Amino acid sequence: MSTAVSQVERLLNLVPYLLSHPGSTVEQVAQEFGVNAKQVAKDLNVLWFCGLPGGFADDLMEAHVEEGGAIHLENAAEPIVRPLRLSTREAVALLVALRALAQVPGIADRDALDRALAKLESATGEAARVAERLSVAFEARDVVFEAAQRALAEKRLVHLRYYVPSRDEVTERDVDPMRVALLAGRAYLEGWCRASGAVRVFRLDRIVGIEVLDQPAQPPADAKGLDLTEEAPASALRVGQDAPLVTLELAAEARWVPEYYPCESVAEDPGVDGFLRVTLRAADQDRIRRLVLRLGGAARVLGPQEFADKVRDTAALALAAYGADAPA
């Protein structure tokens, strides 16, 4: 969009904005419209030359800026006192988000989401149908999701039974809830884990049991939430850079591995056509060991030797339990 065209769009929204927010300052408007104060001043100057057709001075709008920056718009042109309709993209962005949220099992305020959705749908007309071509779904277990939201809203401590797959273990801990987030298709609870004395992110589908306690939640004032712009919360994949690298050779049927396990490197196998060679860095080698066991012969550990031996020993131990059916 050219500079002039985007300025036109801004002005057509600025007039109704100034009418509904009388006394807004240049600074506030600049922030709201995502431009600098200088640009707002320029925009306001243009308004002085816009108005009803007729060519008389009193047909034009008057945008006064007081000392202190408060803007007063007078003689606003009646035809443009309402903002522009939402564009298809704008309608899609909001409607798809509302629909996605309203469909999360166990979400609080579903009723408000549904009502907001219905109102926006009727205000956007045709665009509401186009918005059906894009959808986002989250997985969440309603009971756990409900409890997590309630604890957060009521600021209460929760007791979690949390499954740690790499150790195949259910752990127990008290957590001061800080945030419920929906990321990459899943729901997470972020909170202060009293046992580890740190902020932790818990995947809701791994919470085996959640109890909202009567005790108030008291996360330390300086406890900082994690950067949720990452695809998966950092602590869920906390991997030290000093953790050893494991190299795997993957057969064609195991080529999906790098799509699900973060790999340091992925390359076509130099030896076999269609095979992949990947390296994974895991502080928690158990996770990779379990993956290799799962893949059976479709994966081979190329190194380190120590890790390869460990996987082999685990498999041998497992075989031993089958006795005569599985002679060593």
Q: Which of residues 32-91 bind another protein (CB under 8 A)?
A: 32-34, 42, 45-46, 49-53, 55, 77-80, 82-91
Query: Closest separation between CB of residue 103 and another protein, Å?
Result: 11
d(Cα 313, Cα 246) in Å, to the nearest integer?
17
| C-beta of residue 107 within 8 angstroms of C-beta of residue 145 | yes
> Site residues for another protein, window 207-226 (CB under 8 A)?
208
Number of residues in contact with another protein under rule CB under 8 A: 138
The two tokens of residue 261 are 């396990």
In the stretch 97-136, what mask flags binding to another protein with x, by CB under 8 A?
xx-xx-----xxx-xxx-xx--xx-xx------x-xxxxx
Q: CA 198 to CA 178: how far, in whole Å?
A: 12
Cβ-contact 162, 170 below 8 angstroms: yes
Q: Binding to another protein (CB under 8 A): which residues in 174-203?
A: 179-186, 203
Query: Six-digit token pair at 75?
Result: 């003689």
Amino acid at 91: A
Nearer to another protein, 67 or 126 (CB): 126
Among 223, 251, 266, 283, binds another protein (CB under 8 A): 251
Write out the two tokens for 144.
Answer: 């756990």
Please provide residue 115's backbone torsions phi and psi, each rounded to the nearest 5 degrees.
-65, -45
Closest CB 197 distance from another protein, rounded Å? 24
**Phi, psi values for residue 309, rounded to 5°:** -65, -40
Residues 5-24 that bind another protein (CB under 8 A): 5, 7-9, 11-14, 16-17, 19-21
| φ, ψ (nearest 5 deg) of residue 172 | -115, 135
Query: Whose Cβ is closer to another protein: residue 109's or residue 197's?
Result: 109
Q: Respond yes or no on whether the N-terminal peptide bond of residue 304 is cis (omega within 30° of 0).
A: yes
Compute the radius of gyration of the chain from its Cα atoms: 29
**Least spacing, CB of residue 237 vs another protein, in Å:** 11
Q: Does residue 152 interact with another protein by CB under 8 A?
A: yes
The smaller minimum CB distance to another protein, of residues 77 and 223, is found at 77
Entry field: residues in the chain: 328
Task: Compose the 282-321 pattern: x for residues touching another protein by CB under 8 A, - for all others.
Answer: -----x--xxxxxxxxxxx----------xx-xxxxxxxx
Q: Residue 32 CB, nearest distance to another protein (Å)?
A: 7
- Closest distance between another protein and the C-beta of residue 82, in Å? 4
Residue 281 bridge partners (DSSP): 245
